[in-house]
Amino acid sequence: MSGTIINRDALYALRELPAESVHCCVTSPPYYALRDYGLDAQIGQEKTPEEYIRRLIDVFHEVKRVLRSDGTLWLNIADTYCGTGSKGGYTDPKNPKGRNGQAVSLAYRVEGCKQKDLIGIPWMLAFALRADGWYLRSDIIWQKNNPMPESCKDRPSRCYEHIFLLAKEKSYYYDGLAIAEPIAPTTAKRYKAGRGVGKYGKDIPGQTMQNINRPRAAGTFTDADISPFRNKRDVWQINTVPYKGGHFAAFPPKLAETCILAGCLEGGTVLDPFFGSGTTGLAAERLNRNYIGIELNTEYCALARARIGGETH
Ligand SMILES: C[S@@+](CC[C@H](N)C(=O)[O-])C[C@H]1O[C@@H](n2cnc3c(N)ncnc32)[C@H](O)[C@@H]1O
Residues 37 and 141 in one domain: yes
Structure confidence at residue 197 (pLDDT): 46
Tens digit of pLDDT for each residue in 221-252? 677 767 788 899 999 999 998 776 666 688 99
Same domain for 161 and 186? Answer: no
Q: CA 207: distance to chain centroid?
A: 27
Segments forming the whole domain that contains residue 211: 182-230
242 with 288, same domain: the answer is yes
Per-residue burial over 237-248, b = 16 or more CB atoms within 10 Å of its CB, e = otherwise: ebeeeebeeebb
Q: Are residues 149 and 289 in the same domain?
A: yes
Task: Please answer whether residues 40 and 88 qualify as being in contact, where contact means their C-beta atoms are separated by less than 8 angstroms.
Answer: no
- Within this chain, do residues 165 and 246 fall inside the same structural domain, yes or no? yes
Q: Whose CA is nearest to atom 1 of ligand 1?
A: 30
Query: Tell me, what's the pLDDT at 239?
Result: 95
pTM across the whole model:
0.90
Q: Kindly give the parts of the chain with pLDDT less than 50.
A: 88, 197-205
Whether residues 128 and 275 fall in one domain: yes
pLDDT at 109: 81
Pick the closest to residue 187 from 146, 144, 230, 157 (CA basis).
Answer: 230
- Verify that 199 and 307 share a domain, yes or no: no
Q: Which residue out of 8, 25, 26, 42 has the highest number of ligand 1 atoms within 8 Å of its CB and is therefore the one to mutate?
A: 42
In a 13 Å sphere around the CA of 225, the CA atoms on its Cβ side amount to: 16
Radius of gyration from C-alpha coordinates of the chain: 21
Cα-to-centroid distance, 93 and ligand 1 (Å)? 22
Return the bridge partners of 75, or none: 27, 164
| C-alpha of residue 247 to centroid of ligand 1, in Å | 10
- The per-residue pLDDT for 200 is 44
